[in-house]
Amino acid sequence: MVKTAVQLIVSLCFAVSAIAAQPAKQAAKPIRPTWSELSPAQKQVLAPIEVEWEELDTVRRKKWVEIAKRFPKMSSSEQQLLQKRMKDWVALSPAERRVARARYEQLKKLTPEQKTAIAKQWQEYRRSLAQSDTPFDPAVSDAATTTTPERQ
């Protein structure tokens, strides 16, 4: 019994040391593309998120590269809106980003009818803002959306 326990301990020690000796897979594979691998045109389009680039995983980087490829085909107003939204995104705290991602996931689950109803409500809200002298207050808007029960 003691001999078996000693053999088991020795085997585990060898197994653990063999695993520890293997190089980490994360260190072997750098996240691509790196900022320096982007073309000058891509860097110009993605400039608002340059400070965040090193924090992005490969999947998100590839999504942004695809957006940068479509950028020249966008209208001037679409390009400006994209650049503004990138700047706004970078300005958000990690907690605010989590909330935004969660809201996006909730919206994706809505039926087309629910999406249409929300779009109509949004348009009415924007019209009422344009007609009033009260400036938009994101804190008030955020409080209203977080206390409203989910519509599903």
Local confidence pLDDT in tens for the 152 residues of the chain: 555 544 545 455 555 455 555 555 555 577 889 999 999 999 999 999 999 899 888 999 999 999 999 999 999 999 999 999 999 988 999 999 999 999 999 999 999 999 999 999 999 998 988 887 766 665 555 544 544 444 43
Q: Is 34 helix (H, G, I), strand (E, B) or coil?
A: coil
Q: Is residue 116 assigned to a domain?
A: no
Q: Is residue 60 assigned to a domain?
A: yes
CB 106 within 8 A of CB 150: yes
CB 42 within 8 A of CB 72: no
In this prediction, residue 41 carries a pLDDT of: 94
Comparing C-alpha atoms, which of 55, 63, 8, 54 is closest to residue 35? Answer: 54
Single-letter residue type at 130 = A
Residue listed under structure tokens 């109509």: 120
Neighbours of 61 (CB within 10 A): 21
In this prediction, residue 137 carries a pLDDT of: 61
Q: Is residue 3 assigned to a domain?
A: no
What total of structural domains would you count in the chain? 1
Q: Is residue 62 assigned to a domain?
A: yes
Q: Residue 67 corresponds to which tokens in the numbers above?
A: 């957006």
Comparing C-alpha atoms, which of 3, 7, 56, 12 is closest to residue 34? Answer: 56
Q: Is residue 143 assigned to a domain?
A: no
Distance between CA atoms of residues 57 and 70, nearest Å: 20
In this prediction, residue 150 carries a pLDDT of: 44
Q: Is residue 8 assigned to a domain?
A: no
Segments forming the whole domain that contains residue 80? 23-91
Q: Is residue 32 assigned to a domain?
A: yes
In this prediction, residue 148 carries a pLDDT of: 45
In this prediction, residue 149 carries a pLDDT of: 44
In this prediction, residue 152 carries a pLDDT of: 38
In this prediction, residue 129 carries a pLDDT of: 84
pTM of the model: 0.56
Distance between CA atoms of residues 60 and 52, nearest Å: 11
